[in-house]
Chains A and B, each alone.
Chain A
Amino acid sequence: MLRYIAKRLIGLVPVFFGITLISFFVIHLAPGKPTDVDTSLNPKVSYEARMRLEKLYGFDKPIHVQYLNWLKAFVFFDFGSSFVDGRPVAEKIAERIPVTLLINISSMILMLSIGIPLGILSAVKRGSLLDRTTTIVTFIGFSVPEFWLALLLMSFFAITLGWLPISGIKSLDFEYYSLAGKILDVARHLVLPVAIAAFGSLAGISRYTRSAMIGVIHQDYIRSARAKGLSERIVIYRHALKNAMLPVITILGLSVPGLIGGSVIFESIFAIPGMGRLFYESVMARDYSTIMGILSIGAILTLLGNFLADIAYSYADPRIRVTGSGE
C-alpha cells in the first residue's frame, strides 16, 4: 500500500509542474505588462523610472527566467503580493480558503449521504415510482443553472418565508452570540449554499451509483450469494455495494474541480467571503497575481482530490495495488 502511494505521489510531480506552467502561461496571455498602467500609460513617468519598476518586478528578464523565479517562490507558498491592496496573495487566500472548504466538504457529505442511498434504491427497485422520479430529478439537476436555482431558493426561503438569512456567513451581531449560538448562526447561513452545491452534483452521484449497482447486481457472485440463501439486505449492502462503489469513488474525485469552480458562482450570489468570491473580485480588478495564485491552488486542490480518490480506490480494490496500474 505504501509503495503504491509513493508511486502515485511521484506521478503527481510532472502534473504539478504542468499546472504551474499553464497558470503562468494563461496570465501571460495578457497584452503588455501589469506595470504599464503606472508607466507607459502615464506620461509623467520617465523612461528610467519605468525600467526601475519593471526591474523591481522582474519583467526585464526573459520569460523562462520569470517562470522559474515565480515557481521558486510558489513552492514556498509565496505568490507575490496583490496588485490591488499590496497584501501578500498567500495571506489573502489563506483567510478565504476555510469557508470554501467548509462549504465544499459539507455539501460533499450531504451529496453522498443522499445520493448513494438514492442510487442504490433506484437500482434495486428499478422501474418503480421512486426510480422514475429520481431519474427525472437527476436530469433536472444536470440541466438547471445553479445560480438561477440559488436566486429562486434565496427569494423563497429568505424573503418570502423569512426562515433563513439572505446572504453572508454570519449575522451583524455575531460577536455577541454564545459559542452554540455562533455555530447555529453560521449553519443557518450555510444551509442554502451547501444545499445548492450538493444538488448540482447529487445528480451525477446518484446516477453513477445506480448504473454501477445495476451492473453489479447481474453478476454471478451476486446470484450465488442469493442462492446461498443470504438475505437481500446482506446481498445488496455487503456484497453488491462494495463493488458498485468503485466507479463512484472515481466520479467523486472527478467532481472536485466542479465543486471548487462552482464556488465562484454561489459565493458571489450569497456574498460569502470565500476563495471563489476572492477569485471573482480579482478577475474584476485584473489582480493578476491573485488570479494566478488561486488558479494554481484550485488545480492543486483538484490534484489532491484525485490523489485521495486514487488511494481510496486502491484501498477498496486490492487488484489495483497488485498490478500497480491506476489507470
Chain B
Amino acid sequence: MKTFLKNKAAFASLLFIAMIILFAFFAPLVARHDPSAIDTNSILAAPSGAHIFGTDTLGRDIFARIVYGSRISLAIGFIAVGIAVLIGTVFGSIAGYYGGKADSIMMRFVDIMLCFPAFFLILAVIAVLEPSIFNIMAVIGLTSWMGVARLVRAEVMTLKERDFVWASKVMGASDTWIIARHLIPNAIGPVFVSATLGIGGAILTESALSFLGIGVQPPTPSWGNILMDGKSTLGVAWWLTIFPGLFILFTVLSYNLLGEGLRDALEPKLKELSTK
C-alpha cells in the first residue's frame, strides 16, 4: 500500500477515476444542462460561459453529454470486465487444478478464441444481435476473458502443489471448496492488475464501436457517439472532437497507470528488477 501511495502517477490516476465515477453518479448535479435538450438557437456554439465545452449539431451541451456519457463508459468498463474476470477465473482455475486432458482441451479452446481479432468477433456478434448496451457489455466480456484464464491457470498450477492445499485435501475438502476457498483467493492478485488494464481496453472498444455507429445508439450519449458527430463537423467545430477524445484518453490512461501502479505494489520483486 505504501509503495502504491508513493507512486504519484497512480495516485493522480486514482483521483481522476474517482472524479469520473462522481460524474457518473451525480450527473444531474454536475451538468447544468440536460444532455438531450435541443436548443436550435445555439447550434454548434463555441465553448463559452453558457456551454463550457460548446454545443453539437442539435445545440445540445457537450459537457452535459460527456458527463452523462461517463455513465456508459463506467458501466461498460466494469460490467464487461466483470464478465471477463468471472469466466476467466472459473475457466482458468478448473483447467489449472485438474490439469491433464481437461486442461489441454480447455487451453486449446483459449488458443482458438485468441485467434479471432477481437474487434472482428465483436462486430460479427453485434451484426447478428442488436447493438444494445447490454449486448455490447456482454460481447466485450465474452471476447476478453482469455488473458485472465491463462493468468489464473498459471497461478493455480503453482499453488495447487503447496502444503496448505495438500493439508486441506487431507482434511477431506472437496475440489470445489479447494478451488473456491484456497486457490482463487490466492491467485486473484494478478487478476486485479489485468482487470484494471482491461477496463481501459473495454472503454476504448466501446468508444470505437459507438464511433462506427454500431455501439451505443443515439440519443443516449456515449463518448464514442459524440465523436461520431464530431467527425462530420471537424472543420467547423473542433470542440466536438477534442473534448470527448481527451476524456477517453485521460480515463483510459488513468486505468492503465493505476493498473501499472497496482502491479508494482503487488509484485515488489518485479519493481526491483525494473528500477535496478
Listed in ascending order, the chain A residues whose CB lies under 8 Å from chain B are 14-15, 18-19, 22-23, 26-27, 29-30, 139-140, 142-148, 151-152, 155, 159, 211, 214-215, 218, 254, 257-258, 260-262, 264-265, 268-269, 279-280, 282-284, 286, 288, 291-292, 294-295, 298-300, 302-303, 306
Write out the residue numbers on chain B whose beta carbons fall within 8 Å of the beta carbon of A22.
Answer: 112-113, 116
The reply to whether A27 and B249 form a contact with Cβ atoms under 8 Å apart is: no
Instruction: Assess A295 versus B235: contact at CB under 8 Å? Given A15-B108, A257-B118.
Output: no
**Chain A residue, CB-CB nearest to B260:** A139
Shortest CB–CB separation between residue A102 and chain B, in angstroms? 17
| B257 interface contact, C-beta 8 A | yes
Q: Would A298 and B120 count as touching, CB distance under 8 A?
A: yes
Q: Measured between alpha carbons, how far is A292 from B121 in the docked complex, in Å?
A: 10
Q: Does A298 contact B117, Cβ atoms closer than 8 Å?
A: yes
Q: Is there a chain A Cβ closer than 8 Å to B5's Cβ? A: no
Tell me if B93 is interfacial: C-beta within 8 Å of chain A: no
Main SS of the interface on chain A?
helix
Closest chain A CB from B195 CB (angstroms):
16
**Chain A, Cβ-Cβ closest to B114:** A257
Q: How many A-B residue pairs have CB under 8 A?
A: 149
Would you mind naming 24 contact pairs between A and B with Cβ atoms under 8 Å apart?
A15-B108, A139-B256, A142-B253, A143-B204, A144-B249, A144-B252, A145-B208, A146-B208, A151-B231, A151-B234, A151-B245, A155-B241, A159-B235, A257-B115, A264-B120, A264-B123, A265-B211, A269-B231, A283-B124, A286-B127, A292-B124, A295-B116, A299-B120, A302-B115
- Complex CA gap A265/B126 in Å reads 15
- Report whether B227 and A148 are in contact in the complex, using a CB–CB cutoff of 8 Å: yes
Query: Within the assembled complex, what's the spacing in Å between the Cα atoms of A298 and B119?
Result: 10
Q: Is the CB of A14 within 8 A of B125?
A: no
Closest to B116 in A: A299
Which of A15, A148, A295 is in CB contact (< 8 Å) with B245? A148
Let me know if B245 and A145 touch, CB within 8 A: yes
- Beyond known contacts A22-B112, A145-B227, A283-B123: 7 more, CB 8 A cutoff: A15-B111, A26-B121, A152-B245, A257-B116, A257-B117, A261-B120, A286-B127
> What residue in chain B is nearest A214 (Cβ atoms)?
B274
B202-253: which have CB < 8 Å to A? 204, 207-208, 211-214, 227, 230-231, 234-235, 241-242, 245, 248-249, 252-253
- The chain B residue with its CB closest to the CB of A14 is B108
CA–CA, A143 and B208, complex, Å: 13
The answer on a CB contact under 8 Å between B116 and A302 is yes
The smallest C-beta distance from A252 to any residue of chain B, in angstroms, reads 15
Please, which residues of chain B bring their CB within 8 A of the CB of A218? 273, 276
Given the known interface contacts A140-B249, A286-B127, the answer about A152 and B117 at a Cβ–Cβ threshold of 8 Å is: no
